[in-house]
Amino acid sequence: MRIPDEERALAEAARKGDQAAFAGLVRLHQRRAYLVARAIVTVHEDAEDAVQEGFVRAWQAIERFDPSQGFGAWVNRIVANAALDITRRRKVRSTEELNDALQSPFRDPAQDAELKSRLNDALAQLPERARSVIVLHDIEGFTHVEIGEMLGIPGGTARSDLHHARQKLRTLLQDLRG
C-alpha cells in the first residue's frame, strides 16, 4: 500500500510526541473514522464518542504504530473497537433511537418522505452487524477483509452478512422500488 509522504511524515513526527502532527492525522482521517463509527453505533453522539475515544487510544499507542502502514486503516480499527465497546455497553438500542438518529435536520427536504420513513424502518430491522457491514461496504467502500478486521469477524462472514443484508433491505423496500 502506497502511503502518501505527508501522512508518513506526520505519523513519524507524531510517534515522537508531536501533537501538531497528530492533529494533522486527525484532520486527514476523522471523516472516515466518524463514518466507520456511525455505521456501527448509528447514533451521532455515540459515533462522536467512539471517534474521540479511538483517536485518544491511537495517541496513547502511537509508539507501536508502524509508519510504513496506513494510519487510516490502523485508526479505523481502533475507532471500530471503541464503537463496538459502546454497543456492548448499550446492547439494547430501541427503534425509536435509530429513527431519531436518521431523522436528521440536515437531510435534503426534497427527498421522498415515504422513502425516508421506510428506509428508517428497514435499517432498524436489520441485525446490528448486518447494518454495519452494508454501510461500511456499500456506502463507505471498505472491502470485506477491511470490514472483517474492523468488526472482528472473518472476511467471508462480512461478505455473507452483506449479501443477506442487501436481500433483506431489498425485500423490506420492495414495494417502493417498483
Partner 1 sequence: MADELKFPTNGVRRDADSLDESLSALIRDAYAPPGGEAYWPGLEQRIMARVASESQVENGWWSVLAPWGRPALIAAAAIFAIAGVINQQLVDTDNQLAYESAFQSSTPDVVSTSEEIMSLERGTDGATLSYFLSH
Residues that bind partner 1 (CB under 8 A): 19, 22-23, 26-27, 30-32, 34-35, 38-39, 42, 44, 47-48, 51-52, 55-56, 59-60, 101-102, 104-108, 111-112, 115-116, 119-120, 123, 134-135, 137-141, 143, 163, 166, 169, 173, 176-177
> Based on CB atoms, which residue is closest to partner 1, 96 or 108?
108
Residue 171 CA to residue 95 CA, distance in Å, equals 19
Per-residue DSSP letter, 83: H
> Based on CB atoms, which residue is closest to partner 1, 21 or 149?
21
Minimum CB distance to partner 1, residue 106 (Å) = 6
Cα angle, residue 36 at apex, residues 32 and 39 outer, rounded to 5°: 135
Residue 25: closest CA among 69, 61, 59: 59
> Based on CB atoms, which residue is closest to partner 1, 8 or 118?
118
Per-residue DSSP letter, 63: G
Minimum CB distance to partner 1, residue 109 (Å) = 11
Residue 82 CA to residue 80 CA, distance in Å, equals 5
For residue 78, the number of C-alpha atoms closer than 13 Å in the C-beta half-sphere is 22
Q: Give the relative orientation of helices 155-172 and 144-151 as an angle to the nearest 10 degrees.
A: 100
Minimum CB distance to partner 1, residue 3 (Å) = 17
Minimum CB distance to partner 1, residue 26 (Å) = 5
> Based on CB atoms, which residue is closest to partner 1, 90 or 107?
107
> Based on CB atoms, which residue is closest to partner 1, 51 or 150?
51
Minimum CB distance to partner 1, residue 120 (Å) = 8
Sequence-separated (6 or more) residues with CB below 8 Å from residue 20: 13
Q: What one-letter code names the amino acid at 109?
A: P
